[in-house]
Amino acid sequence: MGITFAEGIVSKNQRSSYHKLFKRNVLATRYPDNATLRDLGLIDNVNWMLSNLGKTTIDWEGLKATAIQNPTIRIGGPICVGGLITSIALVLDLSTKLATLQPLETPFADLDYCRSIRLIKNKPDRKYYLMISNREVMRVTLPCDARINVRLSANWIFNANTPDPGTSSGYQPREEYYYTTMRITLDDILSELRHQNDVDVERDTRETQLDFVERTKLNMGDLTEQMNGVRMEVSDMREYMQHVPQPEYGRSGIGRHRGRDRHH
């Protein structure tokens, strides 16, 4: 990897420290170059912000040596490699405040963790879909892991004017870039989510209506069966009444049978 160690016992100590350092978790970013900013659709926003601050991307040339924070500052946590946010913070003279910030916890920067909480989803080309409410946002593609892996020497250059790496999509013409940028906006994301929500609501409404119809049919069937039972009971009652002797009514009320009167 182009690293030269000292000789003798010093070399052993350096190698030991290097290997311990290399095994530590690294939070990698590679965003202060124009190629990546174009791929992320941020270049116009960053240029607008810097121009309003009286700055230009040329000012990043002096930040190349300071963009990577000293690992000894963050012994207790992962190494933080500076990126776009680091560069802007240094331009705004916030280096002291930046150095005292708590490092990001390692699990939140781990790809496996992001996949497990459904924040990202794999794509076939080793890139990732952004996930919102467990739904893929198809028009937003997160950078390839190879583009932000600091263990690759191709990613060790922090230069606003560096040429595009081999994995970059290359420079886009201005007109094509504007067209691409317009497609990948929060409005598109929100529109897609609203459309998906409307589809879900319509599906739920249809299912609710079908459930209501099915329940109504079942209730009507039960009611018909109960009415048939009532009719059968009424019919049986009528048949029973036809075979029961009718009592005789006299002047004093219900009369008695003549056979029984003779004995009195």
pLDDT for 39: 59
pLDDT for 213: 76
Look up residue 172 and give its amino acid: Q
User: In this structure, are 207 and 151 located in the same domain?
Assistant: no
232 part of a folded domain = yes
pLDDT tops 60 at residue 264: no
262 part of a folded domain = no
Look up residue 131 and give its amino acid: M
Residue 3 neighbours by CB distance under 10 Å: 8
Cβ atoms of 41 and 187 closer than 8 Å: no
User: In this structure, are 63 and 29 located in the same domain?
Assistant: yes
- 137-177 pLDDT, tens digit each: 665 566 666 666 656 666 665 555 545 544 444 444 444 44
- 52-62 pLDDT, tens digit each: 666 655 555 44
Tell me the average pLDDT across 105-132.
62
pLDDT tops 70 at residue 8: yes
User: In this structure, are 164 and 211 located in the same domain?
Assistant: no
217 part of a folded domain = yes
- 10-27 pLDDT, tens digit each: 777 777 776 766 665 544
29 part of a folded domain = yes
**Which pTM does this prediction carry?**
0.19
- Domains in the chain: how many in total? 2
DSSP codes of every residue in 157-193: ---TTPPPPTTS-----HHHHHHHHHHSSHHHHHHHH
pLDDT band at 78 (very low <50, low <70, confident <90, very high): very low
pLDDT for 115: 65
User: In this structure, are 48 and 160 located in the same domain?
Assistant: yes
Helix (H, G, I), strand (E, B) or coil at 206: helix
Q: Judge residue 59's burial from the number of C-beta atoms within 10 Å of its C-beta, 0-12 exposed, 13-18 middle, 19 or more buried.
A: middle
pLDDT band at 198 (very low <50, low <70, confident <90, very high): confident
Query: Higher model confidence: residue 255 or residue 123?
Result: 123
12 part of a folded domain = yes
pLDDT for 164: 53
**Domain that residue 55 falls in:** 8-104+146-170
